[in-house]
Amino acid sequence: MVKYLLDSNCFIEPMKRYYSFKAFPSYWKWLNEELNKENSLLVISKCVADEINVDPRLEKLSV
């Protein structure tokens, strides 16, 4: 199974430009659920989690 390692930019740019939390809550809900699945195809490193958790809007993602 292929896994996709996401960089912090995969969260920051969509939040700032394309998928605001207010306009696209379903996108962020899906992303949060996918990242927390046991056998998810999406993974992030601890340093990326630390980086995105600095922003109060992104720390809502429980990664």
- 18-54 pLDDT tens trace: 999 999 999 999 988 988 888 888 888 888 888 888 8
Q: Which of these, 63, 46, 51, 41, lies nearest to 12 by C-alpha position?
A: 51
Distance CA 34, CA 55 (A): 20
pLDDT at 27: 92
Q: What is the pLDDT of residue 13?
A: 92
Total structural domains within the chain: 1
What span, in angstroms and rounded, lies between the C-alpha atoms of 23 and 4? 25
- The per-residue pLDDT for 38 is 85
The residue that leads in pLDDT, 55 or 9, is 9
- pTM of the full predicted structure? 0.74
Structural domain boundaries, residue 43:
4-60
Residue 26: the pLDDT is 95
pLDDT of residue 63: 61
